Chains A and B, each alone.
Chain A
Amino acid sequence: MRVPVTIVAGFLGAGKTTLINQLLQGDHGLNITVLVNDFGAVNIDAELIAKRQRDVMELSNGCVCCSIQGDLVVQLEELFRSDEPPEYLLIEASGVSQPGRIAAVFGYPQLREHARLDAVVTLVDAANTAELARNSADLVQSQIEAADIIVLTKTDLAGQSEVSKLRKDWLLPDQPVFEAIDGRVPAEVLLDVGRGDETRDLSHTANPGLSFASASWTSKTPVPYAQFKTVLKSLPLSVYRAKGVLYCADFPIERIAFQKVGARVAFQRLGAWPDAPRTQIVGIGDGSAFDAEQFSTMLDAGLLSAPSLPA
């Protein structure tokens, strides 16, 4: 099983460390290995620390935090080839780096058999981006461009009109945007939590106070692969993530898994069906704009009705 990788990016001061501190201590049941730039800034409750060394800290919940060494590719290959490879990897991209370059290395032959890029999450400071970007517009744009999902931070410091303007001026039309509250983002949005089980129902995960919802959809009707691609790519932005197994008409004997995070949709062959083939799709989204019924209706319309002929 390839290790899922999430890259957390964002300009200096966008709130990456806050988010990483929260993830490391969160109750998500994942043994995450986190690679950070500023090891000293990671602030973990002493009770949670099981072992602390110069560049590595092990937590009692199974998470490990390491500082990024000189050459990331070397460090990654070391990690994946070690006796205890990480179960889930989170990389903090430096505030002045282009996360797209980090994401690209996971396409290289040396790394792609070990790891699967799950998502690039870029934190955008709602209050200060326009100001920060004055001298580094290219960098901020490349960080936004690389993102599969945007987390807006410090929305409490910016007015609603400021937030709308930021979305319009800076963010891409196909990017889902999550507005963090007090720097908090549910792990379900950031990470591929149902790993190894493409159909786990996410709705049981309790996250009081954070507004997101989930829904699932099932069908025994085979659908052409191309049609799945089109429909899954065009899910509305209120769907942060979706995943599942597909019953494709062109590959009827194989389970095709898919993962969608924002604009990134990745498919993978999983081998023969253990039982009767059926498509199962689970989505999670913004609680205020997403509901289960609407999700089902959308998939019914896109996947079960005959494809409309071009006019």
Chain B
Amino acid sequence: MSTHYSTNAPDGLPGAELVLTNGRIYTVDPERPWVEAVAIRRGRFMAIGNHDEVAAHIESYTKVHDLNGAFAMPGLYDMHTHPDLALGPKYSDYLDVGLETPTAQEVKDAVLNYAAAHPGDGWIFGKHFVHYNLRKVGIEPGREWLDSFIPDRPVAIMDRMWGSCMANSKALELAGVDKNTQDPNNGYIVRDNITGEPNGILVDGAYALIMAAMPPPPTEALMRAYEEGARFQSSRGVVATKYVHVCEQRLEALRRVDLAGRLPLRVEAAISWQDDIFPVRRRWELLAGERHYYRSARINANAVKFHFDGTSEPRTSFLLSPWPNEKDWRGALNLTPEHIADMVTDMDRKRIRVIAHCTGDGSSDIFLDAVAECRRRNGPGMRHQCAHTTLLDEANLARFAELDVIAEFSPVSWYPSNFTYGARSTLGDRMPEIFNVRGVMDAGGVTVMGTDWPVSSIDPWIGFETLATRQNPFGEMEGQLGQPITMEETIRMLTINGAWAMGIEGSSGSISVGKTADMIVLDQNILDGDPHGRVHKTEVEFTMIEGEVVHDPNGWMAGSDFESTLKTPVPNFRPVEL
């Protein structure tokens, strides 16, 4: 929450409200990269410089804090993440049988107890059952067994290994899964080969068909997910983020968190173009203008997100040439190139940013073509965003700058790890090419990072360190994957470039006079020494956004007007260190 000052309101007291001094402040402003002190008034930097320059603004009412030589910099920008997907289901009061290896009877009892405690005809969804334990007592897992004791409301239960889901007939009916349903590329519906009727077991990607039919998590669960996610991000120094994929329920949850004063960062929310993650019932109303009802100083929904190709693990990323070790399989496109071109052009006219999931070099190629066509038809317009950008064709590196397209990279597998070499092994010889941040930067393009939680950790410092090292930060594996960038470039990528990606680089993203007072103070000078194994452990001692202190674990502002109103403990979503 920030205070609104009318253009016509009297100017008020002329001095600084807050001065932070005696710091090593890296401004990301090329005019003056290092300063010692900053003065803040009405949420903006009114002066920066050495102590004497800033001290001129100190008045009797100014809160002055001595940073004792601490390192400070502008707040971070996490340009693609999903707290709702990571936490929403957990907070939704779904069925949890609560046993590691439940018997068939225990699963049945848990379903019936849940049904009794949640009367009505609503979904029963949760975890988990064990195929072996059902078959041990002669039960074939599937719709018939579930129907035998709960036929009248939809039920879907994941198996213990998360490789499949068991649904009853009602759930299949509501999800529209029948003998005519096509299998997705990354899984299948188990069926009778002759009649084609599903038996109620959906393997791998096929269970998304069930998920898509389920109602969204309750608003309270979404609110808690966003509030905790944002609070954690803010405690790790993030001041602006993109929550990529929202629907009307998610926007409402965000709005309520913001109204309660518990949204400590700026959010650009991207409305889902497709129903493949969850249904968006008011998509066209939102895109037509209803999205503005959710707008505030912290929230905008002037973006749309779509899925264009798949992912590298099941080799559904769309490539320009066949996948390694394949004769002609190039992956899959979910939407036609013509669809993308018309959609980008249309959204661009509405000043809506298009965020395109592009993991293969073929999908980013088509997306860049679509933006080129959009520019030809519309002239200069919105900066659109190429998300993940796992593989890029060399010839496309320069087009990000030419077309004003944001190159967003997700850190999940840009350094060596068992996960990287497991999940991305399908890339074969092309592994060293992945996440070519260096290539886009050298060609003049603007790069940003998106943590893409829950695919990778929401803690930005892991990606931060590994952008500059491309080495395993935890020492689990030797070697380097891809080309690192410098620490200075990394800082720009996570600050001013993020502001550029939100269209606010003129008012935020660096510590410059007149810009919003967004600043973080760290426990170490990240520019001093080898970042490897060190920067990911950075502790954030202070986070301020637009002059509002939102993270102050040491109580520097206690008792002053700047004391943080956020008193709830910071949740811990850091990965477990091995």
**Contacts from A to B (Cβ < 8 Å):** 70-71, 73-75, 77-78, 81, 98, 100-101, 104, 107-110, 112, 138, 141-142, 144-145, 172-174, 225, 229, 248, 251, 256, 263, 266-269
6 nearest CB pairs, A to B: A145-B132, A107-B188, A141-B132, A74-B325, A267-B194, A172-B135
Residue of B nearest to A116 (CB): B193
B311-332 CB contact bits vs A (8 Å, 1 = yes)? 0000100000000111101000
A173 to B139 CA separation, bound complex (whole angstroms): 10
B325 touches A78 (CB 8 A): yes
Q: Out of A101, A142, A144, A269, which one reaches B194, CB within 8 Å? A: A269
Known: A98-B161, A100-B163, A104-B203. A81 touches B327 (CB 8 A): yes
Q: Out of A112, A142, A172, which one reaches B136, CB within 8 Å? A: A172
B187 is an interface residue with CB less than 8 A from chain A: yes
- Other A-B pairs beyond A104-B163, A141-B132, 13, CB < 8 Å: A71-B325, A73-B315, A74-B325, A74-B426, A77-B326, A78-B326, A98-B161, A110-B329, A142-B132, A173-B136, A173-B138, A174-B138, A269-B193
A174 touches B135 (CB 8 A): yes
Give the chain A neighbours of B373 by CB distance below 8 A. Answer: none
**Tally of contacts, chain A with chain B, CB under 8 A:** 71
Q: Out of A77, A101, A108, which one reaches B163, CB within 8 Å? A: A101
A109 touches B192 (CB 8 A): no
Residue of A nearest to B137 (CB): A173
B187 touches A108 (CB 8 A): yes
B159-201 CB contact bits vs A (8 Å, 1 = yes)? 0010110000000000000000001011110101111000000
A122 to B324 CA separation, bound complex (whole angstroms): 32
A109 to B186 CA separation, bound complex (whole angstroms): 8
Closest beta carbon of chain A to B431's beta carbon, Å: 12
Known: A110-B329, A145-B135. A251 touches B163 (CB 8 A): no
Give chain B interface residues in 117-154, CB to chain A under 8 Å: 130-132, 135-138
A109 to B204 CA separation, bound complex (whole angstroms): 12
Residue of A nearest to B100 (CB): A138
Give the chain B neighbours of A109 by CB distance below 8 A. Answer: 183, 185, 188
B132 touches A144 (CB 8 A): yes
Give the chain A neighbours of B137 by CB distance below 8 A. Answer: 173
Closest beta carbon of chain B to A149's beta carbon, Å: 14
B101 is an interface residue with CB less than 8 A from chain A: yes
Q: Can you pick out 7 interface pairs between chain A and chain B where the beta carbons lie within 8 Å of each other?
A: A98-B161, A104-B164, A104-B203, A142-B132, A172-B135, A263-B135, A267-B192
A81 to B329 CA separation, bound complex (whole angstroms): 11
Interface of B (DSSP majority class)? loop
Closest beta carbon of chain A to B155's beta carbon, Å: 22
A107 to B189 CA separation, bound complex (whole angstroms): 9
B329 touches A104 (CB 8 A): no
Residue of A nearest to B191 (CB): A107
Give the chain A neighbours of B195 by CB distance below 8 A. Answer: 225
Residue of B nearest to A225 (CB): B194
A256 touches B326 (CB 8 A): no
A71 touches B194 (CB 8 A): no
Closest beta carbon of chain B to A115's beta carbon, Å: 14
Residue of B nearest to A228 (CB): B194
Give the chain A neighbours of B327 by CB distance below 8 A. Answer: 81
Interface of A (DSSP majority class)? helix
B193 touches A266 (CB 8 A): yes
B425 is an interface residue with CB less than 8 A from chain A: yes
Residue of B nearest to A106 (CB): B188
Give the chain B neighbours of A108 by CB distance below 8 A. Answer: 185-188
A141 to B509 CA separation, bound complex (whole angstroms): 55
Closest beta carbon of chain B to A80's beta carbon, Å: 10
Give the chain B neighbours of A138 by CB distance below 8 A. Answer: 101
A74 to B324 CA separation, bound complex (whole angstroms): 9
Give the chain B neighbours of A70 by CB distance below 8 A. Answer: 425
Give the chain A neighbours of B132 by CB distance below 8 A. Answer: 141-142, 144-145, 172
Residue of A nearest to B101 (CB): A138
Q: Out of A101, A107, A172, A229, which one reaches B190, CB within 8 Å? A: A107
A75 to B130 CA separation, bound complex (whole angstroms): 30
A71 to B130 CA separation, bound complex (whole angstroms): 27
Give the chain A neighbours of B186 by CB distance below 8 A. Answer: 108
A245 to B195 CA separation, bound complex (whole angstroms): 16
Closest beta carbon of chain B to A134's beta carbon, Å: 15
A226 to B164 CA separation, bound complex (whole angstroms): 26
B193 touches A104 (CB 8 A): no
Give the chain A neighbours of B185 by CB distance below 8 A. Answer: 108-110
Give the chain B neighbours of A267 by CB distance below 8 A. Answer: 192-194
A77 touches B329 (CB 8 A): yes
A31 to B324 CA separation, bound complex (whole angstroms): 28
A141 to B204 CA separation, bound complex (whole angstroms): 20
A100 to B160 CA separation, bound complex (whole angstroms): 13
A57 to B329 CA separation, bound complex (whole angstroms): 28
A71 to B427 CA separation, bound complex (whole angstroms): 10
B426 touches A71 (CB 8 A): yes
Give the chain A neighbours of B325 by CB distance below 8 A. Answer: 71, 74-75, 77-78
Give the chain B neighbours of A73 by CB distance below 8 A. Answer: 315
Give the chain A neighbours of B136 by CB distance below 8 A. Answer: 172-173
Closest beta carbon of chain B to A145's beta carbon, Å: 4
A256 touches B203 (CB 8 A): no
Closest beta carbon of chain A to B387's beta carbon, Å: 25
Closest beta carbon of chain A to B512's beta carbon, Å: 50
Give the chain A neighbours of B183 by CB distance below 8 A. Answer: 109
Closest beta carbon of chain A to B421's beta carbon, Å: 9
Give the chain B neighbours of A142 by CB distance below 8 A. Answer: 131-132, 161
A251 to B327 CA separation, bound complex (whole angstroms): 38
A107 touches B203 (CB 8 A): yes
Give the chain B neighbours of A98 by CB distance below 8 A. Answer: 161
Residue of A nearest to B160 (CB): A138
Give the chain B neighbours of A100 by CB distance below 8 A. Answer: 131, 163
A225 to B203 CA separation, bound complex (whole angstroms): 25
A119 to B68 CA separation, bound complex (whole angstroms): 70
Closest beta carbon of chain B to A79's beta carbon, Å: 11
Closest beta carbon of chain B to A56's beta carbon, Å: 16
Closest beta carbon of chain B to A10's beta carbon, Å: 16
Residue of B nearest to A169 (CB): B136
Closest beta carbon of chain A to B132's beta carbon, Å: 4
Give the chain B neighbours of A107 by CB distance below 8 A. Answer: 188, 190, 203
Give the chain A neighbours of B315 by CB distance below 8 A. Answer: 73
A256 touches B163 (CB 8 A): no
Residue of A nearest to B133 (CB): A141
A268 to B190 CA separation, bound complex (whole angstroms): 14
Closest beta carbon of chain A to B194's beta carbon, Å: 5
Closest beta carbon of chain A to B160's beta carbon, Å: 8
Closest beta carbon of chain B to A73's beta carbon, Å: 8
Residue of A nearest to B325 (CB): A74
Give the chain B neighbours of A268 by CB distance below 8 A. Answer: 193-194
